[in-house]
């Protein structure tokens, strides 16, 4: 058997003696370590009573009900990042940026707990992160460092807390999958260069919203449902976990598309997913794995954000299918 490559070794080689890369490596290591703690909590399931309990009456910054584990996960990530070169944290659970290391030269954006509606169902949930450079001389207001198109990310990834705790990461040189080895305690490299198949016969969408969709989305799904007899000429399969990290990991494994379009419901005009800490990191990972990510037509990584918590319609996965969806719009 070839020698195992741990996250630590991988990052050591990637960073070398480059100070900026070392800062990114340190930051990702801290997030991964916080993830191990969150995974342990999640794995206690119903024994950890109250993790799925709704906190208070106020929604979070993104407008969703906030659950206990959303807040615990954010707190763990914040604490883990304090000694790292991250200057600020943007989080789904906090309206404003959270200050970290005053000498830091990075900003981190996180969805501390993705898949909140699955917390008490023993289904995978996860943590998503996006890392951008920060220069106080350029970004007098640190918010402006976060409000940049996703092409500016230097690293991004997510942890999925499922049967295995997985880290899917990119540092701009392909997409890697690491698995947390519960025996050694290390994250071990499992796939050095993920390639999402270009073509697919699998789509994922919350079909219960069909009556709220706009015409292009309705037509796309109708054509998938028509299968071999329809205009697509092939039978499709549908998969929807309801935790984007889990749906994304399936796509990294065997291809497919994830779609959360904007629809007619109030508050869902731009879909459900947040641009800065959900769509951007996933788009970076997907593109580095030869896939595509758009808001239906426009490349996600080119979109300039106008608000930390803004939502964006999201389509990502197998490149040819993402392009096919764009053709319906
Ligand atoms: O419940 P719906 O409308 O199908 O939405 C599911 C989507 O919402 C999300 O849960 C949003 O993320 P949060 O749990 O972080 O709010 C995604 O993970 C998931 O794909
Ligand atoms: Mg989320
Ligand atoms: Mg969340």
Q: What is the pLDDT of residue 60?
A: 78
- Confirm or reject: Cβ of 111 under 6 Å from ligand 1: yes
Are the C-beta atoms of residues 41 and 49 closer than 8 Å to each other? no
Take residue 15 and report the two structure tokens written for it. 């960073």
H helix or E strand, kind and range, residue 293: strand 292-294
Token readout for 147 is 């409000």
Tell me which residue of 44, 101, 76, 258 sits closest to 159, measured CA to CA: 76
Q: Which residues contact 77 (CB under 8 A, 6 or more apart)?
A: 31, 34, 89, 91, 110, 112, 127
Domains of the chain: 7-191 (3.30.540.10), 202-328 (3.40.190.80)
Whole-angstrom distance, CA of residue 289 vs CA of residue 176:
9
Strands (E), 60-105: 65-67, 86-91, 98-99
Helix (H) or strand (E) holding 112: strand 106-114
Q: What is the mean pLDDT of the chain?
A: 96
From the CB of 115, is ligand 1 less than 6 Å away? yes
- Whether pLDDT at 1 is above 60: no
Q: Which residues are annotated as a binding site for Mg(2+)?
A: 92, 111, 113-114, 278
> Does any ligand 1 atom lie closer than 6 A to the CB of residue 133?
no
Residue 271 near residue 217, CB atoms below 8 Å: no
Atom of ligand 1 at shortest range from CA of 245? 18
Residues with CB under 5 A from ligand 3 (ion): 92, 111, 113-114
38-52, 104-118, 256-270, 309-323: least confident range = 38-52
Ligand 3 centre to CA of 308 (Å) is: 14
Evaluate: CB of 209 within 6 angstroms of ligand 1. no
d(CA 293, CA 280) in angstroms, rounded, equals 9
List, as one string, the DSSP characters of 128-194. Answer: EEEEEE--TTT-SSTHHHHSS-GGG-SEEEEEEESSSEEEEEESSSSEEEEEE-TTT--EEEEESS-
Across the range 229-250, mean pLDDT stands at 98
Q: Which residue's CA is the closest to the ligand 1 atom numbered 9?
A: 115
Give the model's pLDDT for residue 51.
86
Q: Region 251-270: what's the mean pLDDT?
A: 98
Among 71, 77, 23, smallest CA distance to 51 is for 71
Which residues participate in the annotated binding site?
A: 92, 111, 113-117, 206, 278
Q: Which atom of ligand 1 is nearest the CA belonging to 70?
A: 15
212 lines ligand 1 (CB under 6 A): no
Check residue 293 and give its pLDDT.
Answer: 99
Specify the pLDDT at position 48. 85
pLDDT band at 57 (very low <50, low <70, confident <90, very high): confident
| Ligand 2 centroid to residue 243 C-alpha, Å | 7
Positive or negative: CA dihedral 222, 326, 124, 109: negative
C-alpha span between 287 and 318 (Å, rounded): 10
The one-character DSSP state at 303 is P
User: How much is the pLDDT for 297?
Assistant: 97
- 128 CA closest ligand 1 atom index: 15
Task: Give the residue numbers marked as catalytic.
Answer: 64, 70, 92-93, 111, 113-114, 278
What span, in angstroms and rounded, lies between the C-alpha atoms of 34 and 48? 17
The DSSP bridge partners found for residue 316 are 258, 293
Which two three-digit tokens encode residue 246? 């889990």
User: 36-45, 48-57, 238-247, 290-299: which range is least confident on average?
Assistant: 48-57
Reported ipTM: the value is 0.97
| CA angle centred on 302, ends 214 and 278, rounded to 5° | 70
Considering only CA atoms, which residue is closest to atom 2 of ligand 1? 242
Q: What is the pLDDT of residues 167-200, one digit of tens each?
A: 999 999 999 999 999 999 999 999 999 999 999 9
For 262-309, write each residue's pLDDT tens digit: 999 999 999 999 999 999 999 999 999 999 999 999 999 999 999 999
pLDDT-based confidence at residue 58 (cuts at 50, 70, 90): confident
- If you ran DSSP here, which 8-state letter would residue 217 be given? H
117 lines ligand 1 (CB under 6 A): yes
Q: Is the CB of 6 within 6 Å of ligand 1?
A: no
Q: Residue 114 Cα, ligand 1 centroid: separation in angstroms? A: 7
Q: How far apart are CA 184 and CA 167, in angstroms?
A: 16
* More confident: 56 or 316: 316
């Amino acid at each position: 058997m070839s020698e195992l490559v741990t996250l630590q070794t991988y990052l050591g080689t990637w960073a070398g003696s480059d100070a900026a890369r070392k800062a990114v490596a340190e930051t990702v290591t801290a997030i991964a370590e916080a993830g191990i703690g969150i995974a342990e909590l999640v794995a206690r399931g119903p024994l950890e009573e109250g993790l799925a309990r709704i906190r208070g009456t106020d929604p979070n910054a993104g407008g969703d009900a906030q659950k206990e584990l959303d807040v615990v996960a954010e707190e763990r990530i914040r604490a883990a990042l304090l000694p790292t070169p991250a200057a600020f944290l943007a989080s789904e659970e906090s309206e404003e940026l959270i200050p970290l290391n005053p000498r830091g030269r990075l900003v981190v954006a996180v969805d501390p707990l993705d898949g909140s509606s699955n917390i008490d169902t023993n289904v995978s949930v996860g943590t998503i992160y996006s890392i951008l450079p920060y220069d106080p001389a350029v970004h007098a207001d640190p918010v402006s460092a976060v409000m940049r198109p996703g092409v500016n990310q230097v690293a991004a990834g997510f942890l999925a807390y499922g049967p295995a705790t997985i880290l899917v990461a990119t540092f701009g040189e392909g997409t890697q999958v690491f698995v947390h080895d519960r025996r050694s305690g290390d994250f071990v490299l499992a796939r050095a260069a993920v390639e999402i198949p270009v073509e697919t016969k699998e789509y994922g969408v919350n079909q219960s919203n069909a009556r709220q969709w706009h015409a292009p989305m309705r037509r796309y799904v109708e054509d998938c449902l028509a299968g071999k007899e329809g205009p697509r000429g092939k039978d499709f399969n549908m998969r929807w976990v309801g935790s984007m990290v889990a749906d994304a990991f399936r796509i990294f494994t065997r291809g497919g598309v994830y779609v959360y379009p904007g629809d007619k419901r109030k508050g869902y005009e731009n879909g459900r997913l947040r641009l800065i800490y959900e769509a951007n990191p996933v788009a970076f990972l997907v593109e580095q794995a030869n896939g595509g990510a758009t808001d239906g037509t426009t490349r996600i990584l080119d979109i300039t954000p106008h608000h930390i918590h803004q939502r964006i319609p999201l389509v990502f996965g197998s490149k040819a299918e993402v392009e096919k969806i764009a053709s319906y719009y």
